[in-house]
A and B are shown apart, each in its own frame.
Chain A
Amino acid sequence: ETGVTQTPRHLVMGMTNKKSLKCEQHLGHNAMYWYKQSAKKPLELMFVYSLEERVENNSVPSRFSPECPNSSHLFLHLHTLQPEDSALYLCASSQVEGLAGDLAKNIQYFGAGTRLSVL
């Protein structure tokens, strides 16, 4: 048990559906992340919420919309997805110390992921 839980573990959706992925961390961390992992590609950072900062990867399409209501919960809202969006979506959390902190502590703990298939 990593302390980061994701639901659902598997999701099949049509291109016209709207769904949401949920992530919850029980580690007291102050940063949460969404990653996309496609076959034979590196992990792609999609969104970060950290110390009041939200950072987006500009290449992420607007059909993905994150929401972070508090430091323990993170959502990824999905709408009108495409088949190429099928992938493993991983949530992670870490403790970011800030500019003066020890970066070696920015260790990411991952949830088990949601395997998404878009038909």
Chain B
Amino acid sequence: RKEVEQDPGPFNVPEGATVAFNCTYSNSASQSFFWYRQDCRKEPKLLMSVYSSGNEDGRFTAQLNRASQYISLLIRDSKLSDSATYLCVVNQGSSASKIIFGSGTRLSIRP
């Protein structure tokens, strides 16, 4: 089983739609979680951290389910500019070397 697993997609949805991604992780001791966004041929950039109680940033909502070991990202009212690859990132421990990236989910928003 991969340490961090994501559906690779691609997800192809119309503008204005709501889309959700899940990410599962294998290490139950994982301590912090993030969603990053990577545009084509660009570097990854932090989209949002994921907190235990769930958190929202505008059209984006992130949730953590420790019992089932997954995190989710919900995008409401999707925009063309949301087209990108979304990377799930899990920090497995206190060391800087324990950060694991998922392979990413590709999202394409069509007009």
Per DSSP, chain B at the interface is strand
Contact B96 A43, beta carbon cutoff 8 Å: no
Contact B49 A50, beta carbon cutoff 8 Å: no
The residues of B that contact A51 with a CB separation of less than 8 Å are 96
Interface size on B, residues (CB 8 A): 24
Question: Would you give 28 A-B contacts (Cβ < 8 Å), ordered by A?
Answer: A31-B96, A35-B101, A40-B103, A42-B4, A42-B104, A45-B97, A45-B101, A48-B97, A50-B96, A51-B96, A53-B95, A53-B96, A53-B97, A55-B96, A90-B44, A98-B94, A103-B31, A103-B32, A104-B49, A106-B91, A106-B99, A107-B34, A107-B49, A108-B44, A111-B43, A112-B42, A112-B43, A113-B43
Does A96 have its Cβ within 8 Å of any Cβ on chain B? yes
Q: Which 10 A-B pairs have the closest CB atoms?
A: A50-B96, A110-B43, A55-B97, A42-B103, A43-B101, A103-B32, A31-B96, A48-B97, A96-B96, A99-B94
A114 to B99 Cα, complex, angstroms: 21
A40 to B6 Cα, complex, angstroms: 12
Does B87 have its Cβ within 8 Å of any Cβ on chain A? yes
Q: Give min CB distance, A107 to chain B, whole Å.
A: 5
Interface size on A, residues (CB 8 A): 30
A51 to B62 Cα, complex, angstroms: 30
Does B17 have its Cβ within 8 Å of any Cβ on chain A? no
Nearest A residue to B2 via CB reads A42
Contact B96 A94, beta carbon cutoff 8 Å: yes
Does A75 have its Cβ within 8 Å of any Cβ on chain B? no
